[in-house]
Chains A and B, each alone.
Chain A
């Protein structure tokens, strides 16, 4: 199985500041035939189901604010919140869909400093 490792486990960021979350896969999730990274990011607010933010490592889901961006390729990926808002307090998960079983990272909790 592909193991997804996120860091840090938690971070506290001031309102309006940048938050950066890292995700590393135990093997590549880049499909060389289409040059796409099979990597998604989700946001989960307290008491709610997860919400898809980004797929293909960097494609923002419809309706997701542009302060959220994804980058990276192969085995190393980053989710960036460019200017943290109060409503962004949540746990963020990366997930690979390159191979079954689909696997999630352990999550990163983002709080306001």
Chain B
């Protein structure tokens, strides 16, 4: 079964750090771009970061640039998001999503999400 499972969320204080992990299974992880997308409570979807299949190219939303780092371990089918200097406005459900970049496109597989709450 094709699956993405996020972990690592939780309650942290402003200024602290957190690392999210997305475990992939059921497909050739190293062949796909991967994304982190977040959704603050009651609001819409925001693309946070994107990484190419080999891990050599990354992109970030302006709101997290310099604070968040996306990376991947293709040998172990893992996607990561290192988050530092966390702010209250980073509170959200964080989803990892597989992105197709060939003839078929779009984020076709999503995890169930992990909640990050930044509060004192």
- Interface size, chain B (Cβ < 8 Å): 24
Top 4 closest pairs, chain A to chain B, by CB: A49-B110, A55-B106, A100-B59, A40-B106
Q: Which residues of A contact B108 (CB under 8 A)?
A: 52, 61
A33 → chain B, closest Cβ, in Å? 15
The answer to whether A107 and B61 touch (CB under 8 A), given A40-B105, A49-B95, is no
Q: Complex formed: what's the CA distance from A50 to B100 in Å?
A: 15
Q: Which residues of B contact A42 (CB under 8 A)?
A: 45, 106-107
Contact A61 B112 (CB under 8 A): no
Q: Complex formed: what's the CA distance from A54 to B46 in Å?
A: 18
Q: Does A68 contact B (CB under 8 A)?
A: no
Q: Which residues of A contact B44 (CB under 8 A)?
A: 91, 93, 104-107
Contact A100 B50 (CB under 8 A): yes
**Sample of 11 further A-B pairs with CB below 8 A, known A49-B111, A49-B113:** A49-B112, A50-B45, A52-B107, A95-B47, A95-B107, A97-B105, A101-B47, A101-B60, A101-B61, A102-B50, A104-B46
Q: Which residues of A contact B46 (CB under 8 A)?
A: 104
Q: Does B1 contact A (CB under 8 A)?
A: no
* Number of residue pairs A-B, CB distance < 8 angstroms: 65
- Interface size, chain A (Cβ < 8 Å): 26
Q: Which of these, B35, B110, B112, B113, contacts A102 with CB under 8 Å?
A: B35
Contact B47 A102 (CB under 8 A): yes
Q: Complex formed: what's the CA distance from A104 to B47 in Å?
A: 7
Q: Which residues of B contact A49 (CB under 8 A)?
A: 95, 97, 110-113
Q: Which of A54-72 contact B (CB under 8 A)?
A: 54-56, 59, 61
